[in-house]
């Protein structure tokens, strides 16, 4: 029951010139209670696709598990990895099928494949929107303020990471349900990787001093 009550977060996904940056905070809240300070909100679906999630923890875990299984099944059947666009459509179909008993999970899928770098926002009833900068969760209003002001097309990797960290930091400063650190992942032609705590702290200091 506790997991089903956890809510509140901020996630950001930014498309840069050669890939996608995914960033989230680490706080899981339950009303005014901080339920966890190291919640997982970044997920590796395949070597080329990752996701950020906002919503109810139990629903998120169920949906992510299903997507991982479907992506693996697709690769076994077709001898190639599923594309970001195809997985976004599959996610939409799953959520559409649950619309009368919806999964409270707002996903952003980001990936880099033969179609290039892409990001898709998928709401709890299956609405899909492709964009180059996306934020979800309780702190998204603050994050979007930073994204709208500083985002530009064809940013470098360094610029994309710095912007994502800056946007999450803005939410941490103003949203009670956002906090306890930042997690960042990058997806490019080399695949999915998560930045270390030391790398993120260095970037956060650099952003603060700019």
Low-confidence ranges of the chain (pLDDT < 50): 1-6
- DSSP annotation of 19 reads S
Domain with 98, as residue range(s), is: 2-209
Q: Which of 87, 31, 27, 84 lies closest to 63 in space, CA to CA?
A: 87
What's 153's domain CATH number? 3.60.20.10
Question: What's residue 58's pLDDT?
Answer: 87
Q: How many Å apart are CA 201 and CA 184, to the nearest integer?
A: 11
Encoding tokens for residue 121? 């926002």
Residues β-bridged to residue 186: 21, 193
Active-site residue flag, 9: yes
If one counts the domains in the chain, the total is 1
Query: Any residues with CB less than 8 A from the CB of 44 and at least 6 apart, and which?
Result: 50, 185, 192
- Model pLDDT, residue 7: 55
Helix (H), strand (E) at residue 63: helix 57-78
Q: Token pair 């949906």 is at which residue?
A: 63
Enter the tokens of residue 201.
Answer: 């702290």
DSSP 150-165: H--TT--HHHHHHHHH
The reply to whether the predicted model has a pTM over 0.75 is yes
Q: How far apart are CA 142 and CA 148, in angstroms?
A: 10
Of 208, 111, 200, which is closest to residue 122 (Cα–Cα)?
A: 111
Per-residue pLDDT of 33-79, as tens digits, reads 787 888 899 999 999 999 999 988 889 999 999 999 999 999 999 99
Q: What is the DSSP letter of 7?
A: B
- Quote the CA–CA distance of 59 and 121 in Å, as a whole number: 17
């Amino acid at each position: 029951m506790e997991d089903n009550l956890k809510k509140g977060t901020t996630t950001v996904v930014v498309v840069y010139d050669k890939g996608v940056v995914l960033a989230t905070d680490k706080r899981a809240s339950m009303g005014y209670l901080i339920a966890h300070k190291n919640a997982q909100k970044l997920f590796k679906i395949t070597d080329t696709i990752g996701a950020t999630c906002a919503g109810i923890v139990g629903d998120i875990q169920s949906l992510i598990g299903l997507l991982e299984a479907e992506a693996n099944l697709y690769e076994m059947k077709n001898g190639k990895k599923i594309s970001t666009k195809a997985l976004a459509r599959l996610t939409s179909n799953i959520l559409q099928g649950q619309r009368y008993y919806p999964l409270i999970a707002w996903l952003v899928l980001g990936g880099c494949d033969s179609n290039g770098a892409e990001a898709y926002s998928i709401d709890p009833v299956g609405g899909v929107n492709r964009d180059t900068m996306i934020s979800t969760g309780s702190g998204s209003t603050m994050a979007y303020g930073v994204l709208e002001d500083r985002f530009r097309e064809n940013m470098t990797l360094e610029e994309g990471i710095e912007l994502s960290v800056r946007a999450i930091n803005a939410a941490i400063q103003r949203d009670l349900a956002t906090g306890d650190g930042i997690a960042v992942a990058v997806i490019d032609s080399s695949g999915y990787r998560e930045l270390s705590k030391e790398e993120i702290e260095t970037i956060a200091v650099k952003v603060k001093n700019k």
